[in-house]
Amino acid sequence: MKKVSVIGAGSWGTAVAFVLAENGHDCLLWARRDDLSSEILNEHTNKNYLPGIQLPKNLAATSELDVAVKHGEILVIAVPTKAIRGVCVEINTMIEGPKLIVHVSKGIEPDSLKRISEIITEELTASNLKAVVALSGPSHAEEVVLRHPTTVTAASDDMQAAEEVQDLFMNQYFRVYTNNDLIGVEIGAALKNVIALAAGITDGLGYGDNAKAALITRGLAEISRLGVKMGAHPLTFSGLTGLGDLIVTCTSVHSRNWKAGNMLGKGNSLEDVVSGMGMVIEGVRTAKAAHQLAIKYDVSMPLTEALYTVLFEDVPPNVMVEQLMNRMKKQEVDDLFGNE
């Protein structure tokens, strides 16, 4: 049994804490709101984020960050990407001795263009950090808490740490693989949300499975092109955190990114979609970062660029699709190691 704290009690933080508590670990879940930590502790529910779900009785909760940081020999960070840097700055002042940090978030920071593990490494003093592991893959919280079979990957530069995380989470319904390609795993995880927004848009416009299959496969091609230029292993993108997560996020009714895209395709404004969701839509902010990464690494990313114009340049979704379909003729198989 390990002492683990999960930082962030939204849908995913609560779901990973659910798995850890069911695995018999001494798990403490940090919610930034008192009312939510009391609800988790006393009613064993998180009605807002996971309606209808009874949480394990051995799952403890607190709204005091320092209590959570002190409790966990392992800290699992589960807040949206935009909150990661701030949370790390805070927990860095509270850590006594090196901790294993697991993050389960999916995004890239615009402007700095840092991956999440890079932000964590930047903000935590080296002596506070044992290793960083990204836990990622096709895994909607709503299905994990129903104990539906789910597979994910624990990725790290430190394979011993990745294996420790594998052992921590593995159970009958939650299967964990390891991967030493942290760049590939984090890039796949972040950029699939951008493609899922586009898939939602085509569904919202009333297009069918052909369009979605095109987005998934051509999305995978451009994510792989970028990832390989950034130093990732090409085969990572055929795995759980690449193709696997693209499929789940582009096709699931649980996906916030797909839902957001669907509403955009139906003519809603970005502002209304974001304010109405009540949960994080990582792909919107990541689209900005991806657009900047495509320029920085000089990689052709037509789907990402098209989505960027819908989100930030007021291009109507149907015009976006027309423009994509009328692009210059291409060969299908790209040279992943060169230009398209």
Residue ranges of the annotated binding site are: 11-12, 32-33, 49, 106, 137, 139, 141, 192, 245, 255-257, 280, 282
Segment contacting ligand NDP by CB under 6 A, of 10-18, 37-45, 175-183, 289-297: 10-18
Q: How far is CA 103 from the centre of its chain?
A: 9
Q: Do 161 and 100 meet the contact criterion of CB atoms below 8 Å apart?
A: yes
Length of the chain, in residues: 340
Decide if residue 80 touches ligand NDP (CB under 6 A).
yes
Active-site choice (99, 114, 192, 229):
192
Task: Look at the block and give the residue holding tokens 């109507």.
Answer: 316
Q: Do 210 and 58 meet the contact criterion of CB atoms below 8 Å apart?
A: no
Binding site listing for sn-glycerol 3-phosphate: 106, 137, 139, 192, 245, 255-257
Task: Look at the block and give the residue holding tokens 């807002």.
Answer: 48
Q: How far is the CB of 338 from ligand NDP (least distance, A)?
A: 31
Decide if residue 138 touches ligand 13P (CB under 6 A).
yes
* Nearer residue to ligand NDP within complex by CB, 105 or 128: 105
Residue 38: both structure tokens together: 């009391």
Q: How far is the CB of 193 from ligand NDP (least distance, A)?
A: 7
Decide if residue 117 touches ligand NDP (CB under 6 A).
no
β-pair partners for 75:
5, 101
Decide if residue 255 touches ligand 13P (CB under 6 A).
yes
Q: Do 16 and 135 meet the contact criterion of CB atoms below 8 Å apart?
A: yes
Residues 268-287 that bind ligand NDP (CB under 6 A): 279-280, 282
Interface with ligand 13P (CB under 6 A), residue from 212, 229, 256, 291: 256
Interface with ligand NDP (CB under 6 A), residue from 53, 60, 78, 131: 78
What are the residue ranges of helices labelled H in the chain?
11-22, 34-38, 65-71, 81-92, 116-123, 141-144, 159-169, 182-204, 209-229, 245-251, 256-265, 270-277, 282-296, 302-312, 317-325
β-pair partners for 77:
7, 103
Q: How far is the CB of 77 from ligand NDP (least distance, A)?
A: 9
210-214 long-range contacts (CB < 8 A, ≥24 apart) are 211/321, 212/250, 212/251
Residues that bind ligand NDP (CB under 6 A): 8-13, 31-33, 49, 78-81, 83, 86-87, 104-107, 139-141, 279-280, 282
Catalytic site positions: 192
